């Protein structure tokens, strides 16, 4: 699998209606910590992609979704289960922290 690009157009299909937990990385191209989170997030997807869906949402392109989920700082990781927010973490996270978030 690969990290999905999450947008308003595919949010319902990919996140709300997913049968697996979905971890969404809210980020922006200009954000330094987001650039550091990117490779870790991709590594987590490669390792844990059988247990969860991994998606990235650009807060500049999808500002309404970012506002809807209360994203005030980035990077923010939100874990959705059954279409609902299960966990929300702000800041740069290690691979181990992402594993704990999903388990």
Cα dist. 6→19, 36, 100 in Å? 16, 19, 22
Catalytic residue among 3, 6, 24, 34: 34
Backbone φ and ψ for 43, nearest 5 degrees, come out as -65, -40
Q: How far apart are CA 65 and CA 80, in angstroms?
A: 14
**Active site includes 34?**
yes
Q: How far apart are CA 72 and CA 44, in angstroms?
A: 24
**Active site includes 3?**
no
Catalytic residue among 4, 7, 18, 31: 31
Q: How far apart are CA 25 and CA 77, in angstroms?
A: 5
Active-site positions? 31, 34
């Amino acid at each position: 699998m690969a990290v999905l690009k999450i947008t308003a157009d595919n949010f319902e299909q990919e996140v709300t209606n997913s049968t697996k937990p979905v971890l969404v990385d809210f980020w922006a191209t200009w954000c330094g910590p987001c650039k550091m989170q990117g490779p870790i997030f991709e590594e987590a997807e490669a390792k844990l992609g059988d247990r969860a869906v991994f998606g990235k949402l650009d807060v500049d392109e999808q500002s309404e979704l970012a506002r809807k989920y209360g994203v005030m700082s980035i990077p923010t990781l939100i874990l959705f289960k059954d279409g609902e927010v299960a966990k929300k973490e702000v800041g740069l996270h290690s691979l181990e922290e992402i594993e704990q978030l999903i388990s």
